[in-house]
Structure 1
Amino acid sequence: MKPRAYLDYNATTPLRDAARAAMVAAMDVAGNPSSVHAEGRAAKALVEKARAQVATAFGADGADVIFVSSATEAAALAMAGRSLAASEVEHDAVFSHAGAVLATDGQGRITVDDPAASAVQLANSETGVIQDLLQGLAVCDATQGFGKIPVAFNWIGCQMALISAHKLGGPKGIGALVVKRGTDIAAQLTGGGQEMGRRAGTENVIGIAGFGAAAEDAMRDLDAGVWDRVRALRDAFEARVMDEADDLVIAGKDAKRLPNTSNLISAGWKGETQVMQMDLHGFAVSAGSACSSGKVRESRVLKAMGFDGPQAAGALRVSLGPETSEDEIMRFADVWLAQRKKHRARAA
């Protein structure tokens, strides 16, 4: 029996060895980072080391890195008290706070009239579509792009950015809001002075240490061209399935995309059905964003791009990572094509 193949990197990523080692070491540091004794100072040192690692990896020298529990919390913190426009292709964590709605074209590209009053993603979690870097954004959701493509907070020139550890090989349950120094933020968790007074509560030292190590390691991979190899595998996979499935649509195919993401649209073959069938054959894939995958609904992202109901309901997201092998992705292509053929035969 073939081993299972994990093809859902946009949902979460396997923990990097460097992150695991940093977390294990942090478990032996007993102090509270807010304590002034030696043990507290040792814990504080781990937090500040990770803050510097994340800032350097994200090109955010001179900015404030505020550790929070997730990119979702970072979005809530960034957008609280602000009326910001966002598009329907944004993650729910951002779109749920939006005021006005920005226009989106058929390739998932967003039109922004007033960057200073807008929250815009760097890359879409479902389609992988990359937005042009807009100077002066109020908020940039860099969660999916950070670690996969070259990006720096100081290039974007935004006021705030959202990032998350588990999207680049770090632990789940830790993220950060990166803030241009001098930007006013209304703290949502109060009761202590942690994180520069922006987010009260004892810091998750173990998670923070893992985040810092993962961010540093992810930049080494990016510099080494690891994601170029992933892109080549993704492109070969798409060529393989499109060669046999002549009516297959790949969402955002003509736009700039993350190197690892394919969103396959087969109208009439429900995405959740595909996910279950692929799971039974040993492949982990997704019908959309992991944060909403437990809900049976059509993709808001795809509908905003102009896909109709049956198309939006028939989407399957395949997202590769550095550990993905050619054998895994081509075995997936063979199985998916075979199941698609069976589905079409039954539906005929």
Structure 2
Amino acid sequence: MIYWDHNAAAPVRAEVAELLAHAFTQGGHGNASSVHQAGREARMRLDQARARVARVLGCEPKEVTFTASGSEADALALIGAWHARPRPERRRVVTSTVEHPALLGAVAQLEAAGAEVARVSPGPDGRVRVEDVLSALTPDTALCSLMWANNETGVVQPAREVAWACRERGVLFHTDAVQAAGKVPLSLREVDADLLSLSAHKFGGPAGVGVLMVRKDVDVRALTPGHQEGGRRGGTQNVPYAEALALALELATREQEATAARVGALRDTFEREVLAAVPDVGVNGAGAPRVPNTSNLRFEGVEGEALLMALDLEGICVSTGAACASGTLTPSHVLRAMGLTAPQARASLRFSLGPSTSATDVERVVEALRRHVPTVRALAG
């Protein structure tokens, strides 16, 4: 099988799988909130994992909050920060129309609670213009959220510039960095955010654990009450998964530059060969800076789901959009925001390469597309 859907989830790294196997079979199982020996040992392991994540991000350990996912981290960032805002008269939230569904869902909840929401659309290349975001930052803005990299197109957003502008205006800035981790240099030196979300399964860790970085001078109201995680997230912590996230993040960060160069070259070769082999194909996000592993291709006159199934029968895993929305007939909100028609959006597939992708894989997928696209087009016509 060729797994070309690494934006949905990257395979768990061997080192991480080994760590988890040891933790669940031979490791301690104490509650990190307990005062007995097993609890103290669990607390020490949790503190070490937190410190390791903080070193990568360039923040303090107490600013790292472990969550169950990137989606939860997004919700905690927006809903928690909005309800805890020190100036209640600031009721405006600024975001983009190409955010992850989890982020957009949190924004919708805030809107229902009385927030005034401004949603900024991107240009045809999928990138939001800094000037458009700045125009939306009115004096009553409490919070701005702009993703670091888009999960469907791979387009890198101007999060750094927007973060600076927000800091100058006293506006809290959050970035969903889930798709950036392991693909671009990731730290608060790169984007000076107040709140930053991560998810382990995007960079070789297990699904079911994420991180929200919260600056020490920023308050968030817990969605789940409890004393754990500095009062930001109640519930017994999953110590093995926190350790697994820390290890995966360290490894992905250490190898990021070399992996990006290799995978980026494969991605460029893949796009070049597909465009040469198959007529009427476009690259969604072409011309904008993109993370190196993502290619979103538009096959004019094709029903994307049909092409996806044809590839799946050959053991080639791709996606029609965000994994959270797969299985729906609604065209991608990201591609629609970029100006694509509904048929064009439904004719698009996301190919996401990973550390294990080879040149042979590229050749096989290009050949499969060369054979299947004409057939699927004929059926649709």
TM-score by length of 2: 0.86
Q: Per-residue CA shift, 1:34-78, capped at 9, x if unaligned?
A: 111221111111111111221222233466010011111111111
Give the match's secondary structure for 1:232: helix
Q: Which one of the candidate residues 2, 5, 20 is aligned to 1:5?
A: 2
User: Relative to 1, partners in 2 of residues 1:247 and 1:199: Cα closer, same or farther, differing over 3 Å?
Assistant: same
In structure 2, distance between residues paired with 1:296 and 1:63:
43
In structure 1, distance between residues paired with 2:378 and 2:233:
56
Q: Which one of the candidate residues 228, 240, 255 is aligned to 1:221?
A: 255
2:112 aligned with 1:86, yes or no? no
Match in the other structure for 1:206: 240
Give, in angstroms, the shift of residue 109 of structure 1.
1.1
Match in the other structure for 1:50: 49
- How many residue pairs get matched? 343
**Paired residue type of 2:357:** T
Instruction: Verify the 8 A CA contact 2:148 2:176 in the aligned structure 1.
Output: yes
Q: Per-residue CA shift, 1:71-117, capped at 9, x if unaligned?
A: 11111111116242211110011112332211211111113113963
Match in the other structure for 1:268: 301
In structure 2, distance between residues paired with 1:69 and 1:236:
36
Match in the other structure for 2:120: 102
Match in the other structure for 2:38: 39
In structure 2, distance between residues paired with 1:125 and 1:31:
36
Instruction: Verify the 8 A CA contact 1:58 1:146 in the aligned structure 2.
Output: no
Q: Per-residue CA shift, 1:114-138, capped at 9, x if unaligned?
A: 3963110000010000012232462
Instruction: Verify the 8 A CA contact 2:66 2:209 in the aligned structure 1.
Output: yes
Listed as ranges, the matches of 1:95-244 within 5 Å are 95-98=104-107, 99-111=117-129, 112-113=133-134, 114=137, 117-132=143-158, 133=160, 134-135=162-163, 136=167, 138-190=173-225, 192-223=226-257, 225-244=258-277
Structure showing the higher helix proportion among its residues: 2
Instruction: Verify the 8 A CA contact 2:126 2:338 in the aligned structure 1.
Output: yes
Give, in angstroms, the shift of residue 347 of structure 1.
5.0
Give, in angstroms, the shift of residue 272 of structure 1.
1.4
In structure 2, distance between residues paired with 1:97 and 1:85:
12
Instruction: Verify the 8 A CA contact 2:303 2:380 in the aligned structure 1.
Output: no
2:332 aligned with 1:299, yes or no? yes
Give, in angstroms, the shift of residue 245 of structure 1.
2.5
**Paired residue type of 1:90:** E
Instruction: Verify the 8 A CA contact 2:50 2:61 in the aligned structure 1.
Output: no
Match in the other structure for 1:23: 20
User: Relative to 1, partners in 2 of residues 1:34 and 1:62: Cα closer, same or farther, differing over 3 Å?
Assistant: closer
In structure 1, distance between residues paired with 2:194 and 2:315:
43
Match in the other structure for 2:86: none
Match in the other structure for 2:343: 310
Give the match's secondary structure for 1:117: strand
User: Relative to 1, partners in 2 of residues 1:62 and 1:274: Cα closer, same or farther, differing over 3 Å?
Assistant: same
Give, in angstroms, the shift of residue 345 of structure 1.
4.0
In structure 1, distance between residues paired with 2:30 and 2:380:
62
In structure 2, distance between residues paired with 1:107 and 1:175:
29
Instruction: Verify the 8 A CA contact 2:228 2:234 in the aligned structure 1.
Output: yes
User: Relative to 1, partners in 2 of residues 1:347 and 1:183: Cα closer, same or farther, differing over 3 Å?
Assistant: closer
Instruction: Verify the 8 A CA contact 2:124 2:339 in the aligned structure 1.
Output: yes
In structure 1, distance between residues paired with 2:7 and 2:62:
26
Task: List alignment gaps of at least 5 residues for structure 1.
Answer: none
Task: List alignment gaps of at least 5 residues for structure 2.
Answer: 83-91, 108-116
Match in the other structure for 2:87: none
In structure 2, distance between residues paired with 1:228 and 1:328:
17
In structure 2, distance between residues paired with 1:154 and 1:116:
23
User: Relative to 1, partners in 2 of residues 1:344 and 1:103: Cα closer, same or farther, differing over 3 Å?
Assistant: closer
